[in-house]
Amino acid sequence: IGCADSRVPSNEISGSEPGEIFTHRNIANVVMQTDQNLQGGLQYAVDALGVEHIVVCGHTKCGGVQASLSGPKEFSPPLEGWLSHLRMVYRHHRKELDAIEDPDAKLDRLVDLNVIEQCKNVYRTAIVQQRLADNAAEGMPYSTPRIHGCVYDLATGYLKRVNWVTPDMEDPYDMTADEGQSEKYNLQKLLANNVRWAEAKKAEQPDFFEKLGSGHNPSMMWIGCADSRVPSNEISGSEPGEIFTHRNIANVVMQTDQNLQGGLQYAVDALGVEHIVVCGHSNCGGIAASLTPTAFSPPLEGWLHHLANVYRLHASELDKIKDEKAKLRRLVELNVLEQCNNVAASAIVQAKQRESLAKGAPFPVPRIHGFVYDLENGSLEDLKWKDEIKDEVGTFKVRNDYAAMGMEDPADKEKGMFNRKPAGMAGGGSNPLKKMFGGN
């Protein structure tokens, strides 16, 4: 569970190969009990994949943690709502943090404390508690999944371990026993791989971490699947610092998902990314699970429901495909296209695209792309999602929600609420809700 920051791709910094780390990434590695996005992924990792370790990894100079130190209402929703969870960490440790006068030292300490609190949040989940109880009942020698806190230092490239088991709580593990466990059950391999990777990077480019620590300016946001086989940087041949990343089960985009939408807002408004990629992959476990008649328990079942809705939209096409492998592949493609539609329908994206055209851009920015990664041959296929439309004279314009959903824009101009331009703003017209429910 890591930060979406482009400088901290999980596989690179841990020296891991594709297939080794199931990954969820969001702004500032936050874990909430009410977050269906992360909790669904956690349930899939623990119950379906049987992961033995859960790592919460923060990093120095975290932009999300830094932003949380600004005053409330500094940002608009959904990002402001997301940052409020980080401000709660500050409130919990206010006495200690207020005593730190140096801003950089305060930020570093808040990063550490945030990792500690998010590790505790992982431990408190019903998903993890049930698995720990089951393992104990089965007489397993070690409690799994084991939870670890780490902080990645952008200036050096090294991971440090953070002990999240504080004196005020009962130690759920014998944390000192890690050293004596088999390689399968400890974190030493990951930390050793990190050292080798950091040393190799410095030998190849001595100022690599110095440049990385000075900031990042990614041109792309990647919305990909949490599957361990599809790390965004490796499959796209990108370096740390180039791709701001959000990963969840089956690369789903929902307007009501504060986790993803907060990241989208940060990428578009704060980082100014020029491209947004939605990337699915062949043999996707999340897509396959949505095709089964099995009902999973919440929160995973609720997450898979969104994929089932994609099937419903395209049932006439999919029902004609008798080969199950071909049907799965086509649903992967259709899911990517529908999630591209959802990105295009976002008020965050539409506002930025409209602004780019007003400033003279030749086409709406950010541009949206849909890819599918083929696990069989390692290639990325561009699905050619149409991220732009033109008016009758050939001028680019921003898609409204009807166009984003593949529907014909109704002639009734009073339904202007669907173009995402807030009522009361220039060109937004009168408030349509007042006419629907009475009033002027």
Enumerate the active-site residues.
Answer: 225, 227, 229, 281, 284
Task: Check residue 249 and report its DSSP letter.
Answer: G
Sheet holding 220-225: strands in order across?
A: 159-162, 146-152, 53-59, 2-3, 25-26, 243-248, 220-225, 275-281, 367-373, 380-382
Residues paired with 133 in a beta bridge: none
Cα distances from 111 to residues 106, 216, 250, 346, in angstroms, run 9, 18, 29, 30
Amino acid found at 46? V
Q: How far apart, in whole angstroms, are the C-alpha atoms of residue 23 and residue 230? A: 9
What is the rounded distance in angstroms from the CA atom of residue 414 to the CA atom of residue 302? Answer: 34
- Tally DSSP H helices, then E strands, for the chain: 18, 12
The closest alpha carbon to 64, from 246, 196, 292, belongs to 246
| Bridge partners of residue 246, in order along the sequence | 223
CA distance linking residue 213 with residue 293, whole number of Å: 48
List, in sequence order, every residue forming a beta bridge with 161; answer none if it has no partner: 150
